[in-house]
């Protein structure tokens, strides 16, 4: 199992509590962006294109704590920018850990070894290292030579010092499946706790717009990545999300599952898109017109999105929705990603693919109500399997960001 039982239990309890309280929309992972400044300028990044006066600013520790308290999510991901450039990052992490939040600090690792003394190993703290492939591929993706070697060295040091270490990988349309599988072997050898993978989101501000995968390309690539997956590869992805990336399920996005707080306030509607801000989390939840988002909405900005921060909360909510779900968690945890019975890739797109419970060209459509109840227009056995597929891990760190 690639995630500690304590974390699994906390998340499961949280989800069950929300269900008992009848909350239809609730956060699972707070995406806390304390600054936008970075020491890299990756080709696919959509976070660092702000005026200099904004890039110089950062949230105070008090603002970070207030956001965490207001939101209440059990997991906090700290992307950026590069969080290690924040002068008070040690204080911020310590304050969140003291609140018993599971913190994923996303970093490109350039400064990690230097800044490790600012932190203390804890079951609540994980460094999530940005790694987009083996040496050549990673250095190309981050547009600087030598970064891969620095990241690998930092991973070794952090693990040796007793920290939890995961990786986050964004894949683009130039991804080489064999190269990525080679990276999975390397990371398994290093002993990372888990690997998080996600297709990149087509940020309007990303400097190179031709890098991004269309939905069918994403499915095709992830089938190759997970084909004959080795048992020793540990993924920070729920089994349901893995199957979603392989085109087995048409999940609907739950953008409120990973709310984003940054210098401007609470970002509407999600981590990837920016359609305004609210001052409070309550206002975000109450004033965002959620039906305008997600693939079923027809919003073109969501059409090709299969990103972790939008769909993993859906998967996790389904995971902990039933005892059957826990049973299937165990099955997927012990036997790994599903290899068989994936729907054919070459079925033509269908106008029925509207998110209303009809058959999806990539598989059976499962209509998911907000973070909870599922209903399927497909076979009931597949539906109950989906409702029950359980999580190997919840990791809030978005590969798409850092």
Can you give the binding site for ligand SF4, defined by CB under 6 A? Answer: 38, 40-42, 45, 47-48, 80-82, 108, 130, 142, 253, 255, 269-270, 272-273, 293-295, 301-302, 305, 307, 309-310, 401-402
Minimum CB separation from ligand SF4 for residue 231, in Å? 31
State the nearest-atom distance from the C-beta of 81 to ligand SF4, in Å.
Answer: 5
What's the CA gap between 220 and 346, in Å, rounded?
10
Closest approach of Cβ 248 to ligand SF4, in Å?
Answer: 18
For residues 8 and 366, which CB has a smaller minimum distance to ligand SF4 in the complex? 366
Minimum CB distance to ligand SF4 smaller for 40 or for 263: 40
Determine the residue with CB nearest ligand SF4.
Answer: 310
Q: How far apart are CA 264 and CA 367, in angstroms?
A: 33
At residue 274, the 3 state secondary structure works out as strand
DSSP output for 128-163: EEE--SSHHHHHHHTT-TTHHHHHHHHHHHHHHTT-
C-beta pairs of 328-334 under 8 Å, 24+ apart in sequence: 328/239, 328/385, 328/388, 328/389, 328/390, 329/239, 329/388, 329/389, 329/390, 329/391, 329/392, 330/390, 332/239, 332/389, 332/390, 332/392, 333/1, 333/239, 333/390, 333/392
User: Measured from the CB atom, is 8 or 30 closer to ligand SF4?
Assistant: 30
**Nearest distance from C-beta of residue 85 to ligand SF4, angstroms:** 10
For the CB of residue 304, give the shortest distance to ligand SF4 in the complex, in Å.
9
Question: How many Å from the N-terminal Cα to the C-terminal Cα in the chain?
Answer: 25
| C-beta of 10 vs 397, nearer to ligand SF4 | 397
Q: Which is nearer to ligand SF4, 41 or 330 (CB)?
A: 41
Judged by CB, which is closer to ligand SF4: 259, or 336?
259
What's the min distance (Å) between Cβ of 336 and ligand SF4? 26
């Amino acid at each position: 199992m690639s995630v500690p039982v304590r974390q699994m239990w906390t998340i499961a309890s949280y989800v069950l509590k929300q269900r008992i309280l009848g909350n239809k929309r609730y956060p699972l992972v707070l995406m806390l962006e304390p600054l936008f400044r970075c020491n890299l300028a990756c080709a696919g990044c959509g976070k660092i294109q702000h005026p200099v006066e904004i890039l110089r600013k950062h949230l105070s520790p008090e603002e970070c704590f207030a956001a965490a308290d207001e939101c209440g999510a059990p997991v906090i991901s700290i992307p950026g920018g590069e969080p290690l450039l924040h002068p008070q990052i040690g204080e911020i992490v310590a304050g969140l850990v003291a609140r018993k939040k599971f913190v994923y600090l996303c970093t490109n690792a350039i400064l990690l070894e230097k800044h490790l003394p600012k932190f203390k190993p804890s079951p609540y703290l994980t460094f999530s290292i940005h790694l987009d492939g083996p040496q050549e591929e990673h250095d190309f993706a981050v547009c600087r030579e030598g970064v891969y070697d620095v990241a690998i060295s930092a991973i070794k040091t952090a693990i040796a010092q007793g920290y939890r270490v995961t990786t986050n990988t964004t894949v683009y349309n130039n991804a080489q499946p064999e190269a990525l599988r080679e990276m999975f072997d390397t990371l398994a050898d290093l002993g990372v706790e888990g690997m998080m993978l996600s297709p990149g989101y087509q940020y309007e501000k990303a400097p190179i717009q031709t890098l991004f995968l269309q939905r069918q390309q994403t499915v095709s690539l992830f089938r190759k990545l997970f084909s004959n997956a080795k048992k020793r590869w540990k993924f920070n992805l729920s089994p349901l999300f893995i199957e979603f990336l392989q085109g087995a399920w048409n999940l609907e996005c739950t953008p409120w599952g990973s709310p984003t707080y940054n210098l401007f306030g609470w970002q509407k509607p999600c981590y990837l898109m920016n359609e305004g801000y609210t001052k409070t989390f309550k206002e975000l939840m109450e004033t965002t017109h959620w039906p305008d988002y997600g693939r079923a909405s027809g919003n073109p900005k969501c059409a090709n999105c299969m990103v972790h921060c939008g769909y993993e909360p859906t998967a996790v909510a389904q995971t902990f929705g039933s005892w059957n779900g826990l049973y299937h968690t165990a099955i997927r945890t012990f036997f790994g990603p599903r290899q068989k019975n994936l729907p054919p890739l070459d079925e033509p797109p269908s106008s029925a693919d509207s998110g209303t419970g009809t058959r999806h060209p990539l598989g059976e459509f499962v209509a998911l109500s907000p973070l909870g109840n599922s209903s399927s227009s497909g076979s009931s056995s597949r539906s109950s399997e989906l409702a029950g597929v359980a999580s190997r891990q919840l990791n809030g760190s978005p590969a798409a960001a850092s």
